[in-house]
Amino acid sequence: MRGTRAQTNTGSKEGVNLSKQQKKKKETTIDSYYSANGTEGERSANDKPEIPANWIQAVEELKTQLREVEDNWEKNLKIKIRHLETEALELKQENSVLKAKINQMKNEGKEMKDEVKRMKDDLQRKSDQKEKDNQKARDEIQSLRTRIQQLDPIDLTRQQDTIKQNKKNEKIEENVKHLIHKTDDLENHSRRDNLRIIGLPEDDNKRKSLDIILEEIIQENCPKILEQEGKVEIERIHRSPPVFNPQLTKPRNVIAKFKNNQMKEQILQAAKKKPFRYHGNMVRITQDLSASTLKDRKTWNTIFQKARELGLQPRIKYPSKLTIFLQGKVWSFNTTEEFQAFINKRPDLNRKFDVQPQNSRESSKGN
């Protein structure tokens, strides 16, 4: 664009000069003509006719117009020259700005070149450091492999010894479980003639002995047993635990050992059929069992209550097995986990048992 403008300005200037030369030539020709005619008039005034006045006036007007045209050309030329000078100044300023930008770009390029060189050096340094670290890691791995190869025979022997020891430990655990089961069974067998009375107030035996209280309970709830068997023969009767703790809100249980097992069974069966009362207070009579068996039975409490509400006729069989009556069939479960797996397969029943049963003693030990 600037090049086109410069060419246009140059062409305009040349045209002005050419027009000025042509005007000057024409003016000179007219003056020469008049001068020539005037001279000839003087020399031969008598020989040529006189020039009309209107022609002279026309020539004068033409000369005036030519002078005006010349003045206009000079003014236009000055204006164009000023424009060209202004444009030249602008081009000069733009050239200065371009030079400054070029210098700035050169400086930035130099800085970028320095930055690239610095990054390249830094990358090379990191690459060298990484290579050193990799070599160090390879050396350590090789050292570990050597040590492993040296330890393999020892480790194999230790693994074999560990396997043997684990098998021995498993065998010992099985024996311990078997012994615990046998011990519980023997303890329960030794308690086969015992009944546990639950809920008997503590102050009752302050006025009467426990054996008399037990006889009154039997007389009040199942008198036919006394009529058939006669007097209640008790080998021993006591509270459990023997020491009274005033901080406990519930009364201690009473454990009675009968001499006559038949009478004890009759009382137990009668207590299962209906709740026993003594002086208006409800008391429960159950089979006396070992502490571990009672703990295992206690894990069924929540499930037992829910099953009773649903009419499933729950029972706790010896030593701690739950049975329910469902769809005309009796189902038995040794652990709460078995019961949970059973109801999980029956969505309708699972929704009703919205409680999480406690873990039994056996499953806790297994975990």
CA 180 to chain centre: 47
> How many other C-beta atoms can be found within 10 angstroms of the C-beta atom of residue 213?
22
User: 290-353, superfamily in CATH?
Assistant: L1 transposable element, C-terminal domain (3.30.250.20)
Q: Across residues 10-22, what is the average pLDDT?
A: 48
Fold of 193-288: Alpha-Beta Plaits (3.30.70)
Q: What is the pLDDT of residue 49?
A: 57
CB contact at 8 A, 255 and 237: yes
Give the Cα separation of 310 and 355 in Å (integer): 14
Residue-wise pLDDT for 229-248, tens only, equals 778 888 899 998 888 888 88
Provide the residue ranges of all domains of the chain, joining segments of one domain with +: 140-191, 193-288, 290-353
Give the Cα separation of 99 and 16 in Å (integer): 35
Closest residue by Cα to residue 360 from 291, 306, 286, 292: 292
> How many other C-beta atoms can be found within 10 angstroms of the C-beta atom of residue 201?
13
- φ/ψ of residue 281, rounded to 5: -95, 135
Residue-wise pLDDT for 188-201, tens only, equals 888 888 999 998 88
Q: What is the pLDDT of residue 44?
A: 46
Give the Cα separation of 165 and 366 in Å (integer): 19
The crossing angle, in degrees rounded to 10, of helices 53-190 and 2-43 is 180
Q: What is the pLDDT of residue 40?
A: 46
Q: What is the pLDDT of residue 50?
A: 66
